[in-house]
Structure 1
Amino acid sequence: MQRGSNLPAVGVYNQALVFDLIRRSDEGLSRSELAERTGLSTQTLSNVTRRLANEGLIEEVGKVISGPGKPRTLLALRPHSRFAVGVHLDPAVDTIVVVDAAGEVVARAERVPDAPDASPGELVGRIGEGVRSLIVDADLPRDLVLGVGVAAPGPFDREAGRLLDPPLLPAWHGVAVRDELSRATGLPTLLEKDVVATVVGEQWFDAEHELADAMFLYYGAGLGLGLSVSGAPVHGRTGNAGNIAHIVVDPDGPLCECGSHGCIGVVMEAGVLLAQAETPSTGGASGDATSQLERLSALAAEGDRGILAALESAGRHLATAIVEVNNLLDLGIVVLGGPAWSRLGDRLFPVLDHWVRTTAVSTSTEPVHLRQSRIGADSTAVGAACLVLDEALTARTSQLMIRG
């Protein structure tokens, strides 16, 4: 548990720490409970909570009587005190959400990605218009919107806020998303890799800090793995950590563009699974990734034997990749989410759970636990918005620095 400080120079840290404890409590916390958890003096805590209340972030929500003495006054989050926008750039569909300070979605929109020959100005301009429209349509006070978080596949240049050459987003190659979108919206903008954004989003709802050491499997148009170690998302040296698509799980499997056979990324592609099923009703692997996923999901729901067999095999191979990563990092919890997972997870989960628990390659001394995303199909867009909330409202040790 993080402790506060009574030094006058660290008021920002104390304020963020107290706010974080209050927002993670379902019913609210009293000042005495906050003092016990933070170690702050009565005077410091009184000053901090007064500032938070004056800024509209918290409010008194009632009193609780517990034994002799004065009733405890509970302090709770005011969810609509602040808002953040999240944008998920995805090969199949761009998703834009607005969340409140609790991380709950208050507005949402989807848009079909632009053509590959669209100019950077057109790309950013249309996303910017989508952001502005969503804020207006939701009737949100502009001054309460903290900023925009953008989540996209890597690789990207973290320092420059520029996408490099993500293979599934050719139109966005070389686009300086962070600065251009900030100019288009007039809002501070952050750019992060999609799987890292998903980590931050899931942790925003993790009141008990159960996901301090965990991995987050994103299954959409691509496959990625976000990581959390000791409560912090793993960015990597360049910000591009999380690529697992080229872990070979089936040497006799389909050919990957990298030249290897049986990489987990290609094994899990909807088109590959349709072709593997060899069922006349699949229509082969024709169509784009979105239509392939819809066909695959519909046939699975109908109980098509070929599709179910293909998903059984895919679940077994995916378990191998997950176990190998866990052997390396010993994290123990796997959160599962993303657009494809939301369609296929009901079929894949029992298969994946069985093979993760029984595979002979696991070296873990304790069971690996699987759980569904708390956010659902929009986990990455919500995570992108939570990046903004996290940046603005979470206590960081860097805030403890005293500058002359």
Structure 2
Amino acid sequence: MKRGSNMPAVGTYNQTLVLDMIRRSPSGLSRIELAELTGLSAQTLSNVARKLSLAGLILEGDRVVSGPGKPRTMLQLNRRARFAVGIHLDPSIDTFVVVDLSGSIVAHIEAPPEDTDATPDLIAGLAASAHALLRSADVPFDRVLGIGAALPGPIDDAAGMVLTPPLLPNWHHTRVRDLLIESTELPVVVEKDVIAAMVGELWADADHALRDAALLYYGAGVGLGIAHDGDAVRGRTGNAGDIGHLIVDPSGPPCQCGMRGCLGVTVAPERLLFDAGITDSLETPWGAVPAGLDELRTRAQGGDARALAVCARAAESLARAIVLVNNMLDTGTVVIGGPAWSRLSELLEPPLRAALPTIPQITTTRPLRLVEARLGTDLAAAGAACLVLDSMFTARASDLMISAS
């Protein structure tokens, strides 16, 4: 449990700490409960609560009687005090969401990727969709904290630039952050998509069950989000989590890296569609992939042997990847989600869970805990929006650092 400080120099830390605790308690918290949780004095806590109330971030709730003494007034999050926009760029579909201060999605749209390689048009398309979504949700512009953009890696995190993601050639070397700031007049933060997804799951994790966890993201590609002590692991360049070349089947399909059975090519959606006989080529247009996965699900649910075999192989490959990742990280908890997973989860999850304890490479001493991502198909987009909230409203020990002048 994080503790507060009564030092005058750390007022901002205390405010974010108290706000975070109130946010994670749906019914709110009383001042007495907050004092017990944070270790703050009554005077410090009173000052913090007053500042949060004046900023419109918290509201006075109902009085609650719990035993002898005065009734307690509950402090509750004002969910509509602030909002953030999340954008996820994906080869098959772009996703846009608006979240409120609690991280709950209040508006959502999907749009086909812009069919152009002209950077101004690409950025203008994102800006137009974001503004249209805010208008449709009736969100006051002055309450929008900013935009988070989840991008396939690799990225240049310092420059806010997407570099050379193989599935998004039109976006290569685009300064997404700076251009989107110019186009929307809003603050913008960019992040690799799997890291954004991990941030979103942490933001939604009210009971702190994911303080140390891994997130397997399964969409157009596969990636890994990692949480350590409640923070997403970004790595030195913001590109942590590339597990596409983890070998899960030495006799599997060839990969462009020269090896066989890399996770990325083994469970690639276009590979599954080809192996199931839904397509006759591995060069499936990305716009057709979601419908193809829906067809794969329908065939498997109908008992089609070929479709069932494809799902079983994919589940075993994912299980092997999860075991290998957990051997290395020893998190014990693995979240799984993403667009491809959301479409196939009811077929993949049972055989995946059954396969986990049978993988011969397993070395950990306790059973793995596998949980479904809470943010569903909006995992990366909602995570991107939560990046904005997280950067402003999550208390971290580093905020206590005082530099000498």
Alignment TM class, shorter chain as reference: over 0.9
RMSD: 1.4
Shift in Å, 1:301? 3.0
Aligned partner of residue 377 in structure 1, secondary structure: helix
Give the match for residue 380 of structure 1. 380
Instruction: Decide whether the 8 Å contact of 2:248 with 2:262 is kept in 1.
Output: yes
Residues 129 and 401 (structure 1 numbering): CA distance in 2 closer, same or farther, change over 3 Å?
Answer: same
Q: TM-score with structure 2 length normalisation?
A: 0.96
CA deviation after TM superposition for structure 1 residue 104, in Å: 1.0
Instruction: Give 1:5's aligned residue.
Output: 5
Unaligned runs of 5+ in 1: none
Contact 1:270–1:293, Cα closer than 8 Å, also in 2: yes
CA distance in 2, matches of 1:263, 1:173: 24
* Contact 1:27–1:76 (CA under 8 A) maintained in structure 2: yes
Residue type at the aligned position of 2:382: V
Shift of 1:369: 0.9
Paired with 2:179 and 2:156, the residues of 1 have a C-alpha distance of 14
The 5 A counterparts of 1:82-93 are 82-93=82-93
1:158 is matched with 157
1:275 has 2:269 as partner: no
Q: Distance in 2 between the 1:287 and 1:245 partners?
A: 19
Number of aligned residues = 401
Alignment CA distance shift 1:312-1:11 (3 Å): same
Q: Which residue of structure 2 lines up, in the alignment, with residue 337 of structure 1?
A: 337
* Whole-angstrom distance in 2 between the partners of 1:66 and 1:137: 42
1:26 & 1:357 partners in 2: Cα distance?
36
Matched, 1:287 2:293: no
Shift of 1:8: 1.0
Q: Distance in 2 between matches of 1:138 and 1:245?
A: 37
Give the percent of matched residue pairs that are identical in Structure 1 and Structure 2.
Answer: 53
Match of 2:365 in 1: 365
Is the contact between residue 156 and residue 163 of structure 1 (CA under 8 Å) also seen in structure 2?
A: yes
What pairs with 1:11-160 in structure 2 (closer than 5 Å)?
11-115=11-115, 117-160=116-159
1:396 pairs with 2:393:
no
Deviates more, 1:169-178 or 1:285-294: 285-294
1:186-197 equivalent positions in 2, closer than 5 A? 186-197=185-196
Give the superposition deviation at 1:271.
Answer: 2.4
**TM-score (normalizing by structure 1):** 0.96
Provide structure 2 residue ranges, at least 5 long, that are not aligned to the other structure: none
Q: State how far apart, in whole Å, the 2-side matches of 1:321 and 1:286 are.
A: 25
Q: SS in structure 1 opposite 2:376? A: coil
Deviation sequence 1:234-258 (CA, Å, 0-9, x none): 1011110111111111111111122
Q: Contact (CA 8 Å) 2:297, 2:347: kept in 1 or not?
A: no
The alpha-carbon deviation at position 285 of structure 1 amounts to 4.6
CA contact 1:92–1:112 (8 Å) conserved in 2: yes
Deviations 1:360-404 (A, max 9, x none): 211111000111111111111000000000011111223223355
